[in-house]
Structure 1
Amino acid sequence: MPVDTTETEVLIVGGGPVGLTARALLERWGVRVLLVEKHRELSPFPRSRLVNVRSMEIFRQLGPAAGITAAAFAPEYGRVRFRDTLYDRDFATAAMAGVDAPVPESPVTGALTSQDRLEPILLAAAHAPARFGSELIGLTEETDGVVALLADRHHGDETRVRARYVLAADGASSTVRHLLGIGTTGPGALGDVTTVVFDADLHPWCARQPAGVYFTAHGSFLPLYPEGGWAWFAPTPEDPARADWPALVSRALGPGAEVRVEVLRVQHWVMNAFVAERFRQGRILLAGDAAHAIPIIGGLGMNAGIADVHNLCWKLAGVLQGWAGPGMLETYATERLPVAHRTLRQAVANTQLLLQVQNRRREQLHTGEGAPDRIEPPWSEEYFAQLGLVLGVAYHSDAVLPDNGPASEPPGSDTPPEPPDSGTDYLPTTEPGHRMPHLWLTPDSSTLDILGEWFTLLTPDPADWGRQATAATPWPLRIEALPYEHIDFCGLRPHGALLIRPDGHIGARWRDRPPSDTTLRHALTTLTRSTRT
C-alpha cells in the first residue's frame, strides 16, 4: 500500500509546552508548521507547574499570557514551605522570586499553574496543524530536507512527512535523539518517582498559609488548581503494582487528622539530569527535555525549553525566508548549550539546598534540640531566587556583535557591570548578548512590548538612523524611540542605538552615531550570516 506524503517547512516532534510554544512562534513568523505527538491527547498529568518571569514575557508577546494568569494560582501561592508533616507548622519557608510578587526587572509576574492547564492554552495560541496519536518511527536526512516516517498509534497507518527542518521537542526519552545516536552528559537517572493525583479536604491545614509546594519528610504535596485537587510526589515504592495508594498518601500526610483520600491518577517516571552532547545534527535540532533533562527542584526545566525555542524559531524563520544564511543555525547550540549546563548546575544546587534544610531538621529532632518552630534556611534568599539565570542569560556567538564603543562609559553612565555567574543575582545591562532590560517607555508600555517578529533599533535619534534603516532590506526591522531619560542607563550618547534581536537579546550596540552609512546593514548581514551585501 502506498504511503501518503505531506510536505511542510518545519516538523515539530512533541506536543508538550516546548513543542506547542515553537508551533506558535513559527506560525507568527509565517512558517508552515506541522506538529506531531505520539500520545492521542494532551497530558492529563500536572507535571511542570512554574511558568517563570521570562517565559511569561515570551507568552505576553505571543498572546496567551492573560489566559495563563487567569487559570493560575494567586501570587501568594508562589512560595515553598517546609513542614514535618502537612499538618504541622512551617519550620522554614522561601518565596519564588518573580512569582510571589512583581519584580522591578520585568513588566510581568510569573505564574504557578499545572501543565495540564497550560497546554490547552498554548494549543489554542496557534492554528497550525497538530496530529495527536502520530508516532515518529524513522528519520532520513536528505540534501535539502528531512523525511520523517510516522505511524498512527490507533490504526497503524504509516505516513511520510517531508520537511525542510525537524525540531525535536519529544522529551527526555526523545525518539529523535536516540535515532540520531546523540549521547548525553551528566548524572543521568537520579531515581524513580511517583506522582499521585488525588482529592482530599486539606483546606484546614493550608488555607492560612498557601504555597505552591509543601516539602515534608514523607514527600512533597502540591495544590493543583485554584478550585481544588492535590498531587503527592515521592520515591516509587518497591512494588508499585501492588501499592495501596490511598493508604500511602494518608500515611504520608501524617497523624493529626482523619481525611478521606480519593486517588485519581498515578504516574511513575524517572527524574533525569543530563545535557545532550549536541543540539543539532544537520537539519534536525533538539529543544527542551530532548536537549536537556533538568531535575524538578526549582522549576527550571520547562522554562529552559521555552527559552530554547524562543532562541531558535526566529533563526529558522530567517533561514527559510532567505534573510539569514544556513550558518545562522549554528548559533543556536553555541548560545543555548552553555545555558543548559548552567541550568543543570543550578537545579542540582537547588536539590542540595533542599536536602540541607531537611537534614538540619532531622538533626534537630534526633539530638533533642526541642524542635523549634523555625530554623534558618541555609540559603538566605537563594532558593527559587533565580532571576540571574532567568533574566540574566548572556549569549556569546556570531549572532552577537562585540560592543564597538569606547572602553569607558559615557560621562554619567549608570550602566551596571557585567553580572556574575550566579543563578540568583540579576543586574540589568545593555551589553550585547544580554536580554534587553525592562524600562518603562510610557506608563503602560515597556521596552519589551515594542519587540516582536522583527529586529528593533532602539535609539534616541530615530531620524538619523532612519536613513540607515531604509537601506537595511530584506531584514524585518523597526525603529523605536528611546526616551532621553534612559540613555545613560543604556550606555548611549544622544545619537547611539541598540539593535535588539527578535528574541529580545541585544545583538549590537553603538554608543554614538553610526560610523558609516552602511553600519546597520553590515551589522544585520554579519549577525544573520547572510550572503546579501
Structure 2
Amino acid sequence: MTDEVDVLIAGGGPVGLTARALLARWGVRTLLVEKHRELSPFPRSRLVNVRSMEIFRQLGIAATVRDRAFPPEFGRVRFRDRLFDPDLGSAAMIGVHAPIPDSPEYGVVTSQDRLEPTLLAAADTPVGFGVELVALSEEDDGVVAHLSTGEVRARYVIAADGANSTVRQLLGIDIDGPGAMARMTTVVFDADLRQWAAEQPAGVYFTATGMFAPIYPEGGWAWFVPTPAEPGDWKSLVTDAIGVDVAVKVLRVQQFVSTGFVASHLRRGRVFLAGDAAHTVPGLGGLGMNTGLAAVHNLCWKLAGVLHGWAEPSLLDTYESERKPVAHLTLRQAVANAHQLRRAQQRQDGELPWSERYFAQMGLVLGVDYVTTEDPGAEYTPTTEPGHRMPHLPLADGRSTLDAVGEWFTLFTPTPTVFHHGEWPVRVELLADQRQGALLVRPDGYVS
C-alpha cells in the first residue's frame, strides 16, 4: 500500500482490473482497492466479445484468456423447455462461434472468476483486498480518499465499484433508466454433464425455467433463475429443471437484482465512474462487462496523457461525451433482449424466436461512432471516418493494423514523413501501397 498515487481505482472486478493493467502500460502509478477479501467466486459475466479480446490483445493476454475459455463451438445458444429436452431453436454467437473477417481476434465464452485472475496477473502494481473506500474529498490538485485502512491521495479516481457504487452515492450522482428489473438467483452446482454437453455444445441454454451455463471446460454448471417466492430445496429445483434424474451437488447460491441504468454523469471533478458504477444492463447478450472494458480503454490513455503532460485536462471531458451515448445504446439493446427472451419463454411469438436477430449486435460491438453518436445498427460496416474504430486490415509484414496501435498515436501513411509532434507519443506506420495522405489513430484504436 502507498499513501500517494496518480490514479486510485476502486473496485477489483474485470473493469477495475483492466484499467489497472492499461494504466500500468502507460507507466501511471496506481492503487486498486477492493472491499472484498478475494476475487469473486461466482461465474457472473460469461462472454468476452471481439472488441474486448482486441483490448486484451493489446495487453498481451488474449492468448491466455482464450486458452482458459471454452472452445469456439460453445459460442452458441440453445433454447429448450428443460435442459435435456430437444432444441426449440439455436443460434450462433456472431464473432464467438467462429472468426470474423473484421478482426484478428474472436470472442470467447468463459467465466468471470476464470477471467479475473488473468487480469490481476496482467500488472504488478499494488492491490489492496479487504480495503473499502468510505469517503472522498477533492482538493485543487487531487483527491483525498478515506479508506478503511487510512488515507490515500490521488490525482484522479476511477470508481469501478459496482452497480451499488459507494463512490457514485458519495458524489450524489443520479441514475437514469428502468432500474431494478428482476430478482434473480445464481445456483452453482456440480453434475456430470460433460459428455452430454460436448455432444450438444452451447455457452448458454435458455429454458422455460431459467438459464443454464457450463462454467469451465473441465466441469461445473450455473443455473440463473428468477428468485422464487419460496425457494425450497435448490437441489430438487435444479434436478427438475434439468429434466432427467442426475446427481446434483449444489455448491453456492447467490441472489441479486437485475438492473438497468446509466449514471446521469460519468465524471464529477477528478472522479470518473466506470463499469457497473456508470452503467448497468440486464445480463442478456453479453453487453455489460464488455461495455465497461471499452469505456476504460477510452479513459485510460486520456488520463495518461494528462498525467504525463502531453494532453490538456480538457481532454478528459471527452470520456463522458463519447461513452455516455454508447451506454444508452447498450442499455436499450439489453432491455430489448430481455423483452424478447420473456416473450419467447411465454410462447408469444408465432415464429421461432431464437433467430440471429438476438445476437446481431456487431454494429454495437465494433461500429460505435464517437462523432455523431448515432445508433450503428445491427451490422458492422468498416470505415476510416473519424470517431470510428480503425478497421482490421493486413499490413505488409502480416500484422493487423490493430497491432500497430498501442501506448501511442499511430500515423498510417504510404509516404515517409517527418513532422513536429511535441512531446506526445506517436509512431509512423508505413503502408506499402500507392494511396496518398495519412490517417492518425488514437491509442484506443479510434480514428482521430
Q: How far is the alpha carbon of 1:377 from its aligned partner? A: 3.0
- For 1:176, the aligned partner's letter is V
Deviations 1:467-516, CA, capped at 9 Å, x for gaps: 21xx21111000001232xx7xxxxxx33010000000000xxxxxxxxx
1:136 alignment counterpart: 133
> How much identity, in percent, do the aligned residues show?
65
Contact persistence 1:192–1:268 (CA under 8 A):
yes
The two structures have a TM-score, normalised by structure 2, of: 0.97
Give the counterpart of 2:379 among 425, 433, 450. 425
Deviations 1:31-84, CA, capped at 9 Å, x for gaps: 000000000000000000100000000000101111100000000000110011
Report SS of the residue matched to 2:3.
Answer: strand
Identify if the C-alpha distance between structure 1 residues 233 and 423 changes in structure 2 by more than 3 Å, giving closer, same or farther. farther
2:441 alignment counterpart: 500
- For 1:249, the aligned partner's letter is V
1:245 alignment counterpart: 234
Report SS of the residue matched to 2:186.
Answer: strand
Q: How far is the alpha carbon of 1:352 from its aligned partner? A: 2.3
2:43 alignment counterpart: 46
Give the counterpart of 1:474 among 395, 418, 423. 423
| Structure having the higher Rg | 1
Segments of 5+ residues of structure 1 without an aligned counterpart are 152-157, 365-374, 398-418, 488-493, 508-533
1:289 alignment counterpart: 276
- For 2:432, the aligned partner's letter is P
Contact persistence 2:8–2:158 (CA under 8 A):
yes
2:8 alignment counterpart: 11
Report SS of the residue matched to 1:393.
Answer: coil
Identify if the C-alpha distance between structure 1 residues 363 and 56 changes in structure 2 by more than 3 Å, giving closer, same or farther. closer
Say whether 1:33 aligns with 2:30.
Answer: yes
Report SS of the residue matched to 1:506.
Answer: coil
Q: How far is the alpha carbon of 1:204 from its aligned partner? A: 5.5
- For 1:297, the aligned partner's letter is L
**Alpha-carbon distance between aligned partners in 2 of 1:135 and 1:287, rounded to the nearest angstrom:** 17
1:233 alignment counterpart: 224
**Alpha-carbon distance between aligned partners in 2 of 1:338 and 1:170, rounded to the nearest angstrom:** 21
Q: How far is the alpha carbon of 1:253 from its aligned partner? A: 1.6
1:279 alignment counterpart: 266
1:69 alignment counterpart: 66
- Give matches, 1:117-136, under 5 Å: 117-136=114-133
**Alpha-carbon distance between aligned partners in 2 of 1:21 and 1:206, rounded to the nearest angstrom:** 31
**Alpha-carbon distance between aligned partners in 1 of 2:99 and 2:353, rounded to the nearest angstrom:** 23
Report SS of the residue matched to 1:448.
Answer: helix
2:203 alignment counterpart: 212
2:401 alignment counterpart: 447
Q: How far is the alpha carbon of 1:239 from its aligned partner? A: 3.9
Deviations 1:293-332, CA, capped at 9 Å, x for gaps: 0110000000000001000000000000100011010000
- For 1:336, the aligned partner's letter is R
Q: How far is the alpha carbon of 1:449 from its aligned partner? A: 0.5
- Alignment length, in residue pairs? 448
Contact persistence 2:343–2:349 (CA under 8 A):
no
Contact persistence 2:2–2:31 (CA under 8 A):
no
Q: How far is the alpha carbon of 1:422 from its aligned partner? A: 4.2
**Alpha-carbon distance between aligned partners in 2 of 1:354 and 1:15, rounded to the nearest angstrom:** 31
Report SS of the residue matched to 1:201.
Answer: coil
Q: Alignment RMSD, CA only? A: 1.7
Deviations 1:274-299, CA, capped at 9 Å, x for gaps: 00000000000001100000110000
Say whether 1:104 aligns with 2:101.
Answer: yes
Q: How far is the alpha carbon of 1:443 from its aligned partner? A: 6.4
Q: How far is the alpha carbon of 1:420 from its aligned partner? A: 7.7
Identify if the C-alpha distance between structure 1 residues 377 and 137 changes in structure 2 by more than 3 Å, giving closer, same or farther. same
Q: How far is the alpha carbon of 1:455 from its aligned partner? A: 0.3
Contact persistence 2:367–2:376 (CA under 8 A):
no
Deviations 1:109-143, CA, capped at 9 Å, x for gaps: 11110000000000000011000000011100111
Say whether 1:337 aligns with 2:318.
Answer: no
- For 2:82, the aligned partner's letter is T
1:387 alignment counterpart: 362
The two structures have a TM-score, normalised by structure 1, of: 0.82
**Alpha-carbon distance between aligned partners in 1 of 2:83 and 2:341, rounded to the nearest angstrom:** 17
- For 2:238, the aligned partner's letter is V
Contact persistence 2:368–2:376 (CA under 8 A):
no
1:376 alignment counterpart: 352
1:531 alignment counterpart: none
Report SS of the residue matched to 1:390.
Answer: helix
- For 1:143, the aligned partner's letter is D
Q: How far is the alpha carbon of 1:353 from its aligned partner? A: 2.3
1:411 alignment counterpart: none
**Alpha-carbon distance between aligned partners in 2 of 1:230 and 1:188, rounded to the nearest angstrom:** 28
**Alpha-carbon distance between aligned partners in 2 of 1:207 and 1:222, rounded to the nearest angstrom:** 13
Say whether 1:145 aligns with 2:94.
Answer: no
Contact persistence 1:137–1:150 (CA under 8 A):
yes
**Alpha-carbon distance between aligned partners in 2 of 1:363 and 1:312, rounded to the nearest angstrom:** 41
- For 2:438, the aligned partner's letter is A
1:197 alignment counterpart: 188
- For 1:266, the aligned partner's letter is V
**Alpha-carbon distance between aligned partners in 2 of 1:440 and 1:287, rounded to the nearest angstrom:** 33
Contact persistence 1:334–1:396 (CA under 8 A):
no
**Alpha-carbon distance between aligned partners in 1 of 2:168 and 2:377, rounded to the nearest angstrom:** 28
